[in-house]
Amino acid sequence: MRELSPGDIVFSFADTWIRKVGIVQGYCHQCPRPPEFGSAGRAWNEIGWSARVRYFAVSSPVQPREHMHLLRPELPEKHSPLKADGGGNQMYLAAISDKMAHVLGTLIGSEYTSLVAGASEIAIGAGSQVSIDEQDSEEWEQHLVDVLNKSSVLPSTQREAVIQARIGQGQFRKNVSGIETHCRITKVNEPAHLRASHTKPWHSSTNDERLNGENGLLLTPTIDHLFDRGFISFEDNGDLLISPVARPRSLQSMGISFEPRTNVGGFSSGQKGFLAYHRESVFLARRGGMQPSLRVSKQYPTRD
């Protein structure tokens, strides 16, 4: 999911048929498991990834099992969405090769060719996609705040501190400021221009982690945005990591240098632990180029 990028192609495979082809509208973001899933996929984590995709029904649906003589040689060696007989493996999204995508596209016909040709324009046409994704995250976090407010487990003062930590204020900001003195990228040290940003997102953290000063960095607003959305991260030794999905010109305008390699200084052992989570679960990793994927829906409900 974290390899998805606007304009990528997704083949929707459900009930042994590919009836829809989608265009990814935005980068993925963390979100809770949809309530409409019910008991389906109960073994999955409660927190996962979501990406908006605009799907188009095709007039010539494809049943892969009828074309395995063409598809079987192109199946991935690992994490294949399809079995050798054309049935689906139990997964939600899998990357497929350009060759496999070409075979599927040829079977679908001219509609697929048109979609690929207009993929970039369709993705750009999403317009306010970023604000929509942020609204989803805000609604999720507000739900968690409501749950906290109704909880009798935490004393009121600690509950308020945890809630204030959501927006990088209160005790959390004080705790971060006791460790960090300036933005690691821009070097700004004026408190009025700095935000206390969680390394492991507030919505994914325990109450203790939400207040832990080592689970945060002081960042200027634009750098906070890049870090929060996974466009940048840091190695334990302080080397800056830049996501392949980020647009260099935009990042350069926001103060990110691509050459020479940027090192922002060392981190404490506690900070390194939270940074490992950020690299694994927030940082947007991607192989590059428009990536075809096959979404295996099987019996699980989906949001088209």
Least confident of 121-130, 158-167, 257-266: 121-130
Q: What is the mean pLDDT of residues 195-216?
A: 95
Beta strand residue intervals within 174-248, DSSP E: 195-198, 216-219, 232-234, 240-242
Q: What is the pLDDT of residue 5?
A: 78
Which residues lie across from 194 on neighbouring strands? Answer: none
- State the average pLDDT for the chain: 84
Between 3 and 38, the more confident residue is 3
pLDDT band, very low/low/confident/very high, at 133 (cuts 50, 70, 90): low
pLDDT at 260: 76
Give the pLDDT band of residue 144 (cuts 50, 70, 90): confident
pLDDT of res. 136: 63
Residue 299 has pLDDT above 80, yes or no: no
Q: Is 0.75 topped by the overall pTM?
A: no
Give every CB contact of residue 43 below 8 A, 6+ residues apart in sequence. none
Residue 197 is encoded by which pair of tokens? 């940003």
pLDDT of residue 246: 83
Q: Is residue 36 pLDDT above 60, yes or no?
A: yes
For residue 301, pLDDT over 60 is answered with: no
Dist CA 68 CA 65 (whole Å) = 5
**Nearest residue to 216 (alpha-carbon basis) of 236, 193, 205, 200:** 200
Residue 211 has pLDDT above 50, yes or no: yes
Question: How far is residue 176's CA from residue 286's CA, in Å, rounded to a whole number?
Answer: 31
Residue count (the chain): 304
Could you tell me what percent of the chain has a pLDDT over 90? 47
Name residue 48's beta-bridge partners.
31
Residue 286: pLDDT over 70: no
More confident residue, 271 or 120: 271
- Distance from C-alpha of 117 to C-alpha of 111, rounded to nearest angstrom: 10
Buried b (16+ CB within 10 A) or exposed e, 99-114: ebbebbbebbeeebee
**pLDDT value at position 294?**
59
Regarding predicted confidence, which is higher, 287 or 207?
A: 207
Give the pairing type, strands 29-32 and 240-242.
Answer: unpaired
pLDDT in tens, 42-72: 656 666 778 888 899 999 999 999 999 999 9
First to last CA, the chain: 16
Q: Which residues contact 178 (CB under 8 A, 6 or more apart)?
A: 213
DSSP E strand boundaries for the chain: 9-14, 17-24, 29-32, 47-50, 53-62, 93-95, 195-198, 216-219, 232-234, 240-242, 292-296
What was the pLDDT predicted at 235?
97
Indicate whether 140 pLDDT > 80: no
CB 287 within 8 A of CB 2: no
